[in-house]
Structure 1
Amino acid sequence: MTVLVASDLDRTLIYSAAALGLEMPDTEAPRLLCVEVYHHAPLSYMTEEAASLLAEVARTSCFVPTTTRTREQYGRIRLPGPAPKFAICANGGHLLVDGEPDGDWHASVRAALDSGCAPLDEVRAHLNRTADASWVLKERVAEDLFAYLVVDRERMPDGYVKELTDWAEPLGWTVSLQGRKLYAVPRPLTKSAAVAEVARRTGATEVLTAGDSLLDTDLLLAGDQGWRPGHGELADAGWTAPQVTALPERGVAAGEAIVRAIAEHASDVRARARSEAVIRAVSRGRADGRT
């Protein structure tokens, strides 16, 4: 029995200081563990309880960090527990195996993008034409796969995301606003495809997923069970699905609630598998006795 746990990272498992959402007196705030340092300063956190739970999940299941981050950005994160055998970066564009990119997987992704959507340069040109310097802080390309803008959300026009979405969809691209980042991602570039490949390689019999954004919908739908927090794009839209649990917790408390739910479900799956194995063994023994 292999339980595969594929979870988004930012605003799902780990949180910047601005995203902690600690709606309580400072004296009651949970103890936090820093899991990412950037430019010699702490950047991302989990609660200590979430870190302990995640370490147990990583020891007993096949835990696969599944992120839109580039490989370089993912490399800054130090999650608790054993180093993951597999990690998914660039929204599925790169599959890391023991920390090294799988060239065959990346080649298959490139082939899908070349045949399934408009080129990146066309999308970037449109972003540069339509976005305004008064609210765009940075324009970036990730791994030569997709583009994103770092924006001042208060100054960004209310209708811009919808206008960009309407323009991008016929070209095979998805638009997602996460915190201060506005992503334009080719539709064939998905986390779920990479997770399916890991499931194939590991022989996983149960896939558990978690995520908070539009780019996580395919991941959540691909799992046998999934969880989303009470914040983020999906929560704002009221999105859910039959196999997805919408948790009420927000901020870093949601991260802890997600890991706890995953740990408990994975434990139940393993216990059920052991019981079924015992029943099969007893049944075989009885059949052998009759012969």
Structure 2
Amino acid sequence: MWYREGTITFTQGSNTLVGVGTAWNVTANGVLPGMIVIGPDNKLYEIKRVTSDTNIVLSEPYTGETQSEVPCRIITTYEGDLTQFSARFTALMSRMSADSKSMRSWLTALDEVTIEREDGTEVTVKPLMQIVNEHNENVEWYKNNTDAIDAAGDKAREAAASAAAAAESANTAGEKASQASQSASAAESSKSAAATSAGAAKTSETNAAASQKSAATSASTATTKASEAATSARDAAASKEAAKSSETSAASSASNAASSATAAGNSAKAAKTSETNARSSETAAGQSASAAAGSKTAAASSA
């Protein structure tokens, strides 16, 4: 009977086969220790154990060239026949025998013991006798040093309490230092503010002196301006009187101008009349000249 599912990777010098798409750990497939794997070098390799569906450990390393994706070819037996049962039972008994031997070695040995795990790896452990002896020694040591251990525990607790107190003191000192720093900063700020205030006071004093001087100057200027205003008032009164006289003169001039205008109107009327009379005289003269000419003509005719 053959098992041909999946592919296998063979590595030169290694006794481990890695499968892809295989189910070697399924009992019904019959892939068991003692079965035969045909390698790509056409050699037969005995299976030492099956660790998983995709891992097999050989009894001896593979000697051919490293190859991957090699079709799986494992010679098995018919499922459920006597040969398969015998193989399984033999493998089980071999495992039990090996485990029993390892257990006896571990229980009775005085030195370290090497035990094989299920996956074929090995682990080195202390023998039971050594473990028991070390345990007894530790128990005896504890009994002999109980007082010292208790005292050390008390000391440790006291040290922890002292450390906590020291930490609290350090914390308090830090807070005090922070407060002192803040006070110093506040004092420095107050000092700076005082200096600023002093400067401002000095400036105010200087400004007050300047203001006083300006006030005196303004008072003097006001006195001068008051005197000038009085003079201007007197001048204004004189101007008012002069204006009143001018107003009277203007009224008289206006009256005279009105009389002159009336006279001019009368003169214009007289001139118009004279012009009319002159035109009448000119007409009469023309008529007289015409009459004279007629008389002259008549006289000439008579002569």
TM-score (norm 2): 0.19
Pair member with larger Rg: 2
Which structure: greater helix fraction? 2
Name the structure, 1 or 2, with higher relative contact order (CA <8 Å, separation 6+): 1
TM-score normalised by structure 1 residue count: 0.20
Which structure: greater strand fraction?
1
